[in-house]
Structure 1
Amino acid sequence: MSDNGVNGTNGANGSGGNGLGALALVPKAEQKQTLKDFKTDQEVRWCPGCGDYAILAAVQSFLPELGLRRENIVFVSGIGCSSRFPYYMNTYGFHSIHGRAPAIATGLAASRPDLSVWVVTGDGDALSIGGNHLIHALRRNVNLKILLFNNRIYGLTKGQYSPTSEFGKITKSTPMGSLDAPFNPISLALGAEATFVARTIDSDRKHLQSVLREAAQHKGTALVEIYQNCNIFNDGAFEPLKDPQVRDDVTIRLEHGQPVVFGKDRQKGLRRCPTGGFEVVNVADVDPSEIVVHDVHNPDPSQAFALSRLDSPSFEHTPIGIFRKVERPSYDELLRAQVEEAVAKEGKGDLAALLASGDTWRID
């Protein structure tokens, strides 16, 4: 697996890192697959121009690279525009209930190690009613992949402010401006000790797919925040990151083992502040050793957290790429080991006998 954080091209049968552990028990397809194999006969129904179309196409194009049986891939969603995703994937899927997709996916991943389990959710679904389920899936390090579509608005319910909407956001539900301080999904995930945390953009297909490759092969929970445009209720929310005139000056592309530099001529860089954060400097004005080198494998998440705090509603400096990728035993493998130990000590057990054991009463 490539270690640059965004350019890995290793397939499901590759080696290195913890990629083998994530997919080792998932059966492989007998024949080579293509994008068409992952498309359903369902009409894709999002608003014309929605960023969800680009994400769907990227996922359908990327999955054949894994070489997995479609019957052993599962997409679980909650409620929202993004949650229509399972209908359009020719795999198994579950359109579940509001905010509960991580909980349902946890049960599936823990009981079926032969599955590649994906969660598709939105900023409202995951961070409001589903916030509790999200953080516990992250801290447990369940072997599943969470794609969090962030458009900073409630789209399905017609334009109310969401947990990621910026302070002062004027919407149908906040006509005088939102009073809530927004969640930063990357900071939240790092605070929950997630082992894989990344951010990408719906319109940057190459970057999006490279992050998905790394996430798919990560053993444990991988959270990928995807900035996704809602052209009906929050159009242009991420325009500075897409505008060719300014995107290079505001987008910081994180690459493992490389100095954190950016700008059209890579003239800007990040330097550590005495207070623990970062400051933007001109590369020509400082010693090269002062420029921060990105390390996704650092067990201490403080540097990754500081990077996540650079993002702001104005997108003055926005990092994208992989913030953290560390190894830790996954919840499901620990659970299986515990079950095996119990069976070795107590025997396989008999569920019917267990239910009928102890005090029982007969009611006539």
Structure 2
Amino acid sequence: MSSEVRFTDFKSDKQPTWCPGCGDFGTMNGMMKALANTGNDPDNTFVVAGIGCSGKIGTYMHSYALHGVHGRALPVGTGVKLANPDLEVMVAGGDGDGYSIGAGHFIHAVRRNVDMTYVVMDNRIYGLTKGQASPTSREDFETSTTPEGPKQPPVNPLALALSAGGSFIAQSFSTDAQRHTEIVQKAIEHDGFGFVNVFSPCVTFNDVDTYDYFRDSIVDLADEDHDPTDREAAKERILDADKEYQGILYQNEESVPYSDLHGLDSNMADIPDGAPEGAMDLVREFY
């Protein structure tokens, strides 16, 4: 891995087609900076994405990439990492992709603790399909398909991750460039499944969860007396419905990645006789 790598090395020659002002620009920039800061480069990075506004992020980044189907990015990322542990695997998605059709995969990816990073661009709406309520939309959020609101509580992805045994759970704000980059970098450096939910405002279809709203509402845990290794303290913050937190909510510093537990440390492509003994049985377990 090159020490000379810059975040611009991760930029492709494709121009994003996101709406001007979309929070996904800042989310992606932070991902690229975090990858460069950790010494990774495009030749050892694999970006997997699903469907939604975030889906083409692999096209906009210069690395190995796969644009998968709706809700299925995490199984692909898991397969890539187990097949080639030398790759830095980053999975990107949205709140609809990850917490609706992909919710089952999310829970199991968290509990397996495969050593990869999952960045979710949470704009609390379905942006690509013109503004329907998503799993994280407010209970009274009015859209064309929910004119009186969804009338059900929003999904709390941080609580789902904690209850599933998450070893790294964090939240960031796409426009707070330095903190967002720092948090994603910590997720990459974590030994295990690094999960970052990113407040990434939709400027076209969501006029409630705006940049101004998050700037006024976010409480940065860097300014609080919060110990991220204290699971009970993390639970208290995560279940606090009155505040929007930024920072590392929880980190298990003794986390052991799935591959280390099962001895899957060899690149399957480099083994003439195929995968390590028992490896494919473990992979089939996921499907």
Q: Tell me by how many angstroms 1:227 deviates.
A: 0.3
TM-score (norm 2): 0.88
Q: Tell me by how many angstroms 1:38 deviates.
A: 1.1
Out of 221, 240, 255, the residue aligned to residue 254 of structure 1 is: 221
TM-score (norm 1): 0.70
User: Within 1, Cα distance between the matches of 2:182 and 2:33?
Assistant: 12
Q: Tell me by how many angstroms 1:152 deviates.
A: 0.5
**2:263 equivalent in structure 1:** 336
The 1:328–1:350 alpha-carbon spacing in structure 2 relative to 1, beyond 3 Å, is: closer
Are positions 1:309 and 2:239 aligned together? yes
Are positions 1:240 and 2:213 aligned together? yes
**1:148 equivalent in structure 2:** 120
Conserved in 2, the CA contact under 8 Å of 1:310 and 1:319? no
Conserved in 2, the CA contact under 8 Å of 1:311 and 1:319? no
Are positions 1:110 and 2:71 aligned together? no
SS in structure 1 at match of 2:13: coil
User: Within 1, Cα distance between the matches of 2:175 and 2:274?
Assistant: 53
Conserved in 2, the CA contact under 8 Å of 1:123 and 1:162? yes
**1:321 equivalent in structure 2:** 247
Q: Tell me by how many angstroms 1:109 deviates.
A: 1.0
Q: Tell me by how many angstroms 1:350 deviates.
A: 7.9
Give per-residue Cα distances to partners, 1:211-234, cap 9 Å, x unaligned.
011111001001100001101000
User: Within 1, Cα distance between the matches of 2:13 and 2:274?
Assistant: 44
Give per-residue Cα distances to partners, 1:220-252, cap 9 Å, x unaligned.
00110000110100035143321xxxx3xx432
Out of 269, 274, 294, the residue aligned to residue 226 of structure 2 is: 294
Conserved in 2, the CA contact under 8 Å of 1:33 and 1:64? yes
Out of 208, 217, 221, the residue aligned to residue 193 of structure 2 is: 221
Which one has the largest radius of gyration? 1
Conserved in 2, the CA contact under 8 Å of 1:151 and 1:229? yes
Conserved in 2, the CA contact under 8 Å of 1:73 and 1:115? yes
Conserved in 2, the CA contact under 8 Å of 1:78 and 1:121? yes
SS in structure 2 at match of 1:324: strand
SS in structure 2 at match of 1:142: coil
**1:290 equivalent in structure 2:** none
User: Within 2, Cα distance between the matches of 1:170 and 1:222?
Assistant: 33
Q: Tell me by how many angstroms 1:337 deviates.
A: 5.5
**1:62 equivalent in structure 2:** 34
SS in structure 2 at match of 1:180: coil
Counterpart residue identity of residue 324, structure 1: Y
Conserved in 2, the CA contact under 8 Å of 1:142 and 1:332? yes
| Higher mean displacement: 92-101 or 64-73 | 64-73
Q: Which runs of 5+ in 2 are unaligned?
A: 267-271, 276-287
User: Paired residues, what number?
Assistant: 268
Q: Tell me by how many angstroms 1:338 deviates.
A: 10
The 1:48–1:349 alpha-carbon spacing in structure 2 relative to 1, beyond 3 Å, is: closer
SS in structure 1 at match of 2:184: helix
User: Within 1, Cα distance between the matches of 2:47 and 2:168?
Assistant: 19
Conserved in 1, the CA contact under 8 Å of 2:132 and 2:144? yes
Alignment of 1:261-276 (within 5 A): none
The 1:175–1:333 alpha-carbon spacing in structure 2 relative to 1, beyond 3 Å, is: same
Please provide the CA RMSD for this pair: 2.0
Q: Which runs of 5+ in 1 are unaligned?
A: 1-27, 261-292, 340-347, 352-364
Q: Tell me by how many angstroms 1:176 deviates.
A: 2.3
User: Within 1, Cα distance between the matches of 2:181 and 2:157?
Assistant: 20
Q: Which runs of 4+ in 1 moved over 4 A?
A: 348-351
Conserved in 1, the CA contact under 8 Å of 2:170 and 2:247? yes
Conserved in 1, the CA contact under 8 Å of 2:95 and 2:135? yes
Conserved in 2, the CA contact under 8 Å of 1:110 and 1:331? no
**1:283 equivalent in structure 2:** none
Q: Tell me by how many angstroms 1:349 deviates.
A: 7.0
Give per-residue Cα distances to partners, 1:322-356, cap 9 Å, x unaligned.
011112221122232599xxxxxxxx9789xxxxx
The 1:175–1:337 alpha-carbon spacing in structure 2 relative to 1, beyond 3 Å, is: closer
Counterpart residue identity of residue 226, structure 2: H
**1:124 equivalent in structure 2:** 96
SS in structure 2 at match of 1:82: coil
The 1:349–1:207 alpha-carbon spacing in structure 2 relative to 1, beyond 3 Å, is: closer
Counterpart residue identity of residue 37, structure 1: D
Give per-residue Cα distances to partners, 1:194-227, cap 9 Å, x unaligned.
0000001011111101101111100100110000
User: Within 1, Cα distance between the matches of 2:44 and 2:264?
Assistant: 22
